[in-house]
Structure 1
Amino acid sequence: MNRTTVMEKAPFFPEVAEGPRNVNAYWINTDDNVRLRVAHWPSEDAAKGTVFVFQGRTENIEKYGRAVEALQSQGYSAFAIDWRGQGLSDRADEDRMLGHVDRYSDYQKDVSAMLKAAEALDVPKPWFLFGHSLGACVGLRALSEGLPMSACAFSAPLWDINLSAFQRFAAWPLTWTAQLIGKGHAYAPGTRGESYVLTTPFDENRLTHDESSYRYYQSVSENLEEQQVGGPSMGWLYQTLKETKALSKIASPDVPCITFCGAEDSIVAIPAVEDRMSRWSRGKFELIPNARHDVLYEVASVRDRVISEICALFS
């Protein structure tokens, strides 16, 4: 750590994360005075660099314990963040289960604070980015604005929501009006203030085919009740529709990239991912058969392949 910088330690629960025990968590603050939590897992091979982990919606840092262990086994350190409204970072509403953000540019304030913390901690370079779902949406915007990464990898990127034509037609005016009349913090239709993995049986889940991974999700949620996040707000849904539409029009960053989607992903719009990657000159897209939304926590053959290809790109 930079000797001129003192960062307050934050709680972290390695026994729940089931990842490397050598981890330090810290509180950091954004320019708009939101307190966030970050965590750093150092590696013995500092020359390989650091993977920045941009989490998906509802997730927390602990959920990436197993994934970080896989990255560390390949020689990489890792640096992860709880977005505002998630994990142990400040929540946007008195209802801690509500998944909400006022605007997507707020996530870029989180990224900026994370970068300052990485510099203060002397996190080893080169730097690489891994973003899952929401994290890939935030990551694409950050890369387009100059995020200094040597390469990036995305899984199930939220570059559009998987909605039917009717749902999309209805969602725009509904969510816009909700914000206009002060109902942006209401839950989006069909969602509630409860943990998805604790209320959805394994046989009905949309995340993974791997029962062990699903039990892991449930263990993280059960043991870290304070960190749970439920359904998205009307405001979050409107801001996501707005941001993904805007992102669809930007040029792809000049950064090496590999992106994975499970062929059975029903959460993100795969055509939007295919379109983006077809326009990414230094990018590669892989649609993985028999896989759902979270390929890093799919059956062993899938997750091993994904980690192997990510590390091959980063090396």
Structure 2
Amino acid sequence: MSESAPTVYLHQEALMGHDMWSEWLLHHRFGGDAQHMQAVLEYLRPVRDRVLDNARLAEGDMVLDVGCGDGLIAFGALERIASGAVIFSDISEDLLNHAQSLARDMGLLDRCRFLLAPAEDLSALEEASVDVVTTRSVLIYVAAKRQAFGEFYRILKPGGRLSIFEPINRFGEEVFSQPHCFAGYDVTPVMDIAQKVKALYHQLQPRDSDPMLDFDERDLIAYAEEAGFKMIRLELQAEVASLGNAGMSLEDRNWETFLHTAGNPKIPTLEEAMRQVLTPEETARFVTHLRPLVETNQRIHRSATVFLWAIR
């Protein structure tokens, strides 16, 4: 493929107008905090390495990175193989343009393709046309997860490898959904106010139907089995901790970062949410209680993630 004419497949699911995916991934994920951004990247590097280790890359492989985002996995794959190619796939045209610009600057464009498509519809790719499929934190946004696994299986060559990483958000939901809990903090004295903010988030992402919460690790294994994968392995990592001044985690941040960070592309920042549903008096009362807890990290931390890898 020449640098002047990269392959881009257009899809009817392309986002129109404002692209919430690129806006979040490149900006709102970090709340304008360079230190927090560095902490996130330090956390993600070993995740990237594990996904690629499980993919067992080989020279000459055609790799498809589904939901490539800013290219963390895809560029990592290009670093590992001197020959072969990587298809950057995403539903965000802005993110694909961003990745294409980076690939051009790095002199890698001749080994890259760019596909605008959702995980559940990769019809632009032929059956048995790629050696490896990777994803990182993508299926949490996909309602049709069974269909996505079916597409992964269809486009992989016999013996092809699937390697994914996903958070299991259902793991912490039982605790975090309790009325006295907000983002892991005890807000009992301002529970009435916290409920108004939580109601907005739950309206945007209903607990009983949102793709971020409608699955766990057993479902992922079942989807892979149903798709037809021959060998499936899954590793679950879970963590529960009550943090304080001595506790450290990826979530550690100052108040301004906490206020201006959105947990995912589909929800507002805390500042935006409070502006929508609280009066100035309620906001002041809520912040007075919550801010010291955030600044001293007085929170319950519950998280679970999985690495799944499989062979077609």
Decide: shared fold, TM above 0.5.
no
Name the TM tier (shorter chain).
0.3 to 0.5
Compare relative contact order (CA 8 Å, sep 6+) and give the higher one, 1 or 2: 2
| TM-score where L is the length of structure 2 | 0.37
- Which protein is bigger by CA-based radius of gyration? 2
